[in-house]
Homo-oligomer: A and B are copies of this chain.
Amino acid sequence: MTARTWTTRADNRAARLARAAQALGPRLRGKRVPSEAITELLEAVIEPHDRVCLEGNNQKQADFLAQALVRLDPQRVHDLHMVQSVLALPEHLDLFELGIASRLDFSFSGPQGARLAKLVSERRIQIGAIHTYLELFARYFVDLTPQVALVAAHAADAEGNLYTGPNTEDTPAIVEATAFSGGIVIAQVNELLDDGSALPRIDVPAGWVSFVVKAPRPNVIEPLFTRDPAQISEIQVLMAMMAIKGIYAEYGVQRLNHGIGFDTAAIELLLPTYGESLGLKGRICRHWALNPHPALIPAIEAGWVESIHSFGSELGMEDYIRARSDVFFTGPDGSLRSNRAFCQAAGHYACDLFIGSTLQMDLDGNSSTATLGRITGFGGAPNMGADARGRRHASPAWLQAGREARQGRSGAAGTPRGQKLVVQMVETFREHMQPAFVERLDAWQLAEQSGMALPPIMIYGDDVSHVLTEQGIANLLLCRSDEEREQAIRGVAGYTAVGLARDERMVENLRDRGVIRRPQDLGIDPRQATRNLLAARSMRDLVRASGGLYEPPKRFRNW
């Protein structure tokens, strides 16, 4: 037996709290820190080499704390290991340029992807790994536990209880991992209530929070999931018709996830029109794991949607959500309770279908949004766009996909098992006439350049069930060899180089077998695919459909 101490984490927390108390003196009232003392607080509680989770969500950002962090003295605070979902703000990378942080584990870097790649190539940042969200949360409880968490909430009461409002997002996962492992939790809030005032609801108990600070400005939130119907093209309408008739109806998909993008917005807007005309109401799309997409308003109003659980919220949807509490998860205060961890679990285990888009797909069906000169990560797509092999409950859609995938197979691969529907929906050419189908993903070269252990593939080909383009649907479940899969993909790749190199005879054979289905094979007349089919054709239509409850952010108020 050693004489080691077993409470270093608790002792260390006590020492950090004592340093904060000393640095701030009477300016620290309970857990409340005045905003002008934030630098002193951070320098008192953060130690070099700490693992720090700076709440960078898909939507809300702990921006005040990010700005404070970049102002620290790198002589005192350096070599931080940042762990966070999203790199969204310039400050998230400034930290590395300034020498305050040196190591990074994350999920998604969207707009900062190019700058991130540059910093990596200059060896000013060391990437641990890119994760899917739930995977990163999981590691918070295993080997990436933060010593310090810097989070954002809407309000705090005098005791330090937190009210997140509709954008709860990652906060509960981050705070739980940090608070119960001897860490320090600092929350920036938009409102700090006086003694005795009660929050509309408590999302995080005060006992889990070390300090609260009122930010001078409300935290940044991005309306990431708002798509203006005016920008939906007729090709997208056609693809949405194929998705509804050729996949959703074919498998009877009741529970599903939609992400960001115009392709899926088109599907949402066709449910009450085209979907209704096919008699599908109540037969598909009843339960959703998705954010409160404005594009789903017409379908909700038409009674298509029984329930929605959300990762985060969406700006402008607050009053609508409050008035439609039968559909959304809401608190006694009427506002949404989102939760990215549970919604990702729902997307993984409780949904029969994931539909997403990509920038590139190769002939094995592997797809990636990673392109040269950018390191972006994949957010939730790998978690939801993978077969959930731990799933054991059956549904007709899952069983049918499983049957198709296992037909004619023997041994372990032939054991009856359900399978998730994973649909990649892409136009054959992206903007600037970039082909979506390629012989080789940029991901391979990117892996070599950045020294990654594996190419950054978003969704692996053997998890994809269907590829949907304006040319038709390729059902990869039915392919029985690598060659068939390749020709099925070429067969829907249109006039791209990959599509033009198809084996005509084999493609026609696949079409005869129903592996490839063109619009006409589905009984869809492309001439019908007009914008008139959309249940809303503008932002104004969406507002009208909501009975005036939806209030789009200013930049979308284009009428």
B-contacting residues of A (Cβ < 8 Å)?
1-2, 4-10, 105, 128-132, 134-135, 137-139, 141-143, 145, 161, 173, 176-177, 179-182, 201-203, 205-207, 254-255, 286-287, 289, 301-303, 306-307, 309, 323-327, 329-332, 337, 339, 341-343, 345-346, 348-351, 364-366, 378, 382-394, 399, 410-413, 415-418, 452-457, 460-463, 481-482, 485-486, 547
Contacts and interface: CB of A to CB of B under 8 A. Distances in A.
A326 B339 CA distance: 28
B132 A348 contact: no
Contact of A205 (B161, B286, B329): B161
A460 B394 contact: no
Given A350-B143, A366-B412, A462-B413, A129 B392 contact: yes
Contact of A143 (B6, B254, B416): B254
A202 B330 CA distance: 21
Nearest to A545: B1
Contacts of A389: 382, 386-387, 389, 460, 463
A161 B346 CA distance: 27
A142 B255 contact: yes
A103 to B, nearest CB: 13
Contact of A173 (B254, B342, B351, B391): B342
A10 B131 contact: no
Contact residues of A: prevailing secondary structure? loop
Contact of A391 (B132, B181, B364, B416): B132
A301 B3 CA distance: 10
18 contacts: A1-B301, A6-B326, A9-B325, A141-B329, A141-B345, A142-B351, A143-B254, A143-B306, A180-B331, A180-B337, A205-B205, A364-B411, A382-B389, A382-B390, A382-B392, A411-B486, A412-B482, A413-B462
Contact of A365 (B177, B387, B412): B412
Given A6-B324, A202-B206, A365-B412, 10 more contacts: A138-B342, A138-B345, A138-B348, A143-B287, A179-B331, A202-B207, A207-B332, A413-B482, A417-B457, A418-B454
Given A161-B205, A255-B142, A416-B454, A342 B137 contact: yes
Given A142-B350, A143-B350, A205-B202, A181 B134 contact: no
Contacts of A145: 307
A301 to B, nearest CB: 6
A325 B176 contact: no
Contacts of A461: 411-412, 415
A350 B141 contact: yes
Contacts of A137: 342, 345
A180 to B, nearest CB: 4
B453 A325 contact: no
Contacts of A386: 389-390
Contacts of A327: 6
A390 B135 contact: yes
Nearest to A347: B138
